[in-house]
Amino acid sequence: MTWTLPAASDIASSVDYLFYAMLALTGVVALAITLLIIFFAIRYRAGSDADRSNVPTSSRWLEYGWTLTPIAIFLGIFAWAAVVYARFYTGPADAMTIFVVGKQWMWKAEHANGRREIDELHLPLGQPVRVMLSTEDVIHSFFVPAFRIKQDAVPGRYTMIRFTPTRAGTYWLHCAEYCGTDHARMGGRVVVMAPAAFAQWLQQGDSSSLASRGGELFRQKGCSGCHAANSTVHAPDLAGIYGRVVHLNDGRTLVADEAYLRDSILLPKRDVVAGYEPVMPSFQGQLDESELAALITFLKETR
């Protein structure tokens, strides 16, 4: 029986500080109220000789005090927790991106160089990681308690969570969102390795990289027919698209990230780039999650 949970990511210790601060605060409040109730219960039990003159029935100052004090404390905790929360979703641009797909009842991971694994996830120590989550069926949730991270994988979109592993070792990977019969068995382990060992591990296997597979798909599926520089069709040039600010023809602007690229492939009518006609066909149903990941990685790397 272990009574502590390893803190194996950069964010884990921040979450733990917050937890222990909450434990101290709520512990003190709970103890104070409990002791007060017990004290009153004994002192003012029926038949005791305690002084009961001038029973107070209300006090404006007490009420304001015990309303405003918790508000102040709560807003402080809210802000603290929100700042830590933002770190799950914002961070360095050069973080290593790994595509993880949930499926009843397994986790499939794909690294940039094309190495795939199921119900395991190997990670290098000290390297910022972004996990891009998607699902082939129902909602799942990617949960690594030792990292204090959890993120749902939702049909029809990418979700993302960031962290940096800070301790080598093997940790539980669970599915935390109920997903059907074998929900409890959906999971495996996360293995955090020294960078050199990880690089070595990554080279085993002979699959081609996501970007090169994506490049092939870009031609095979006919994307290049319109999006190539010399194409006769009026379509946006995709070189260096990733991370760029995109102006849409309904006036909105957004940053081209994985979620945008995914939507543009599957739901091309949704976010049409300013100055272009909505002529692109949807590739819904023609690309699986792995092919999407390959295409998007290819687009990220075209300059």
DSSP annotation of 114: S
49 touching other proteins, by CB under 8 A: no
Q: How far apart are CB 256 and other proteins at their closest, in Å?
A: 18
Does residue number 277 form part of the binding site for other proteins (CB under 8 A)?
no
CB 164 within 8 A of CB 129: yes
CB of 280 to other proteins, least distance (A): 16
Q: Which stretch binds other proteins (CB under 8 A): 91-99, 117-125, 172-180, 225-233?
A: 172-180
**Complex with other proteins: residue 163 or 298, whichever CB lies closer:** 163
Q: How many CB atoms within 10 Å of residue 113?
A: 15
Q: Can you tell me the distance from the alpha carbon of 162 to that of 261, in angstroms, rounded to the nearest whole number?
A: 19
The residue within the footprint of other proteins, chosen from 96, 112, 138, 254 (CB under 8 A), is 138
> Binding to other proteins by residue 91, rule CB under 8 A?
no
Sign of the alpha-carbon torsion through 191, 196, 201, 206:
positive
Report the residue from 24, 37, 239, 279 that binds other proteins according to the rule CB under 8 A: 37
Does 123 help bind other proteins (rule: CB under 8 A)?
no
| Cβ-contact 208, 114 below 8 angstroms | yes
Taking the C-alpha atoms of residue 210 and residue 68, their distance in angstroms, rounded to an integer, is 55
- Would you count residue 134 as binding other proteins (CB under 8 A)? no
Residues 201-260 that bind other proteins (CB under 8 A): none
CB of 120 to other proteins, least distance (A): 16
* Cβ distance to other proteins smaller for residue 18 or 197: 18
Rounded Cα distance between 252 and 262, Å, is 18
213 contact partners, CB below 8 Å, separation of at least 6 = 114, 291, 294, 298
Q: Which stretch binds other proteins (CB under 8 A): 39-47, 122-130, 196-204, 241-249?
A: 39-47
Q: And the tokens for 150?
A: 């959890």
Let me know the angle formed at the C-alpha of 147 by 24 and 165, rounded to the nearest 5 degrees.
125
197-201: long-range contacts (C-beta < 8 A, 24 or more apart)?
Answer: 198/122, 198/123, 198/124, 198/125, 199/124, 201/122
Q: Regarding beta strands 253-255 and 149-153, do their DSSP bridges make them parallel or antiparallel, or are they unpaired?
A: unpaired
Binding other proteins (rule: CB under 8 A), the pick from 182, 237, 277, 288 is: 182
Stretch that binds other proteins, among 55-63, 112-120, 243-251, 286-294 (CB under 8 A): 55-63
Position 154 contacts other proteins (CB under 8 A): yes
Distances (CA, A) of 264 to 20, 137, 285: 44, 21, 14
Helix (H, G, I), strand (E, B) or coil at 153: strand
Q: Is the dihedral of CA 67, 68, 70, 74 positive or negative?
A: positive
29 touches other proteins (CB under 8 A): yes
Q: Does 275 bind other proteins (CB under 8 A)?
A: no
Q: Binder to other proteins among 24, 92, 116, 178 (CB under 8 A)?
A: 178
Q: Binding residues for other proteins, how many (CB under 8 A)? A: 85
Subset of 71-90 contacting other proteins (CB under 8 A):
71, 74-75, 77-78, 80-82, 84-89
- C-beta of 145: minimal distance to other proteins in Å? 3
181 binds other proteins (CB under 8 A): yes
Q: In angstroms, what is the minimal distance from the CB of 298 to other proteins?
A: 23
